[in-house]
Amino acid sequence: MPGFITPKMTYEAPGLGDTDEADPHQAADMRLTRQIAAVIQRDFPGHAWLIEVSHKQGVVMISIPLFMGRHKWVIHIETLKTDPMMKSVMRAAGEILERYRIPRQAFSLDNFLTALNTIPVHQRAHHGKLAE
């Protein structure tokens, strides 16, 4: 069921939003976010990926928030400079799926619900009500 989740891009300025100062990293952050999203969506379409890029901090953060809560897989942007095929991004996405026992493939509602219901009890408080 690829396309179950429609990818959406937004930009969130760093800081508390209490300044009108332009972010000098905005264009680079958005460009790298699009590149990473294209790579992940090519092989693992439909999952609710969250991709955050911060050139200011020098990191890319990848997650599926429903499963991972506030935890994120971090890749240093310096790593990507020597990884033109973005193998580190694909490895991160694949390992995230595997950690929640989701096959490395396009989104499947059955696989999603199975994974959602197998989140350990000690983590459930971070994820809200589970599907039944």
pLDDT digits (tens, 9 = 90+) for 51-101: 999 999 999 999 998 888 889 999 999 999 999 999 999 999 999 999 999
Name the pLDDT band for 5 (thresholds 50, 70, 90): low
* pLDDT computed for residue 123 by the predictor: 63
CA–CA separation, 60 vs 17, rounded Å?
Answer: 21
What integer pLDDT is reported at residue 6 of this predicted model? 59
Given the structure tokens 């955050």, which residue do they identify? 52
For residue 36, which of 103, 84, 100, 97 has the smallest C-alpha distance? Answer: 84
Listed as own residue / partner, the contacts of 29-37 with beta carbons closer than 8 Å and 24 or more positions apart are 29/53, 29/54, 29/55, 32/60, 32/77, 32/80, 33/9, 34/9, 35/86, 36/60, 36/62, 36/86, 36/89, 37/7, 37/9
132 pLDDT above the threshold of 80:
no
pLDDT at 121: 62
Q: In this prediction, what percent of the chain has a pLDDT beyond 70?
A: 80
Q: At what angle do helices 26-43 and 87-99 cross, to 10 degrees?
A: 60
How much is the pTM?
0.81
Place of tokens 């508390």: 16
Tell me: pLDDT of 3 over 50.
no
Contact between 102 and 51 (Cβ < 8 Å): no
Whether residue 127 has pLDDT greater than 60:
no
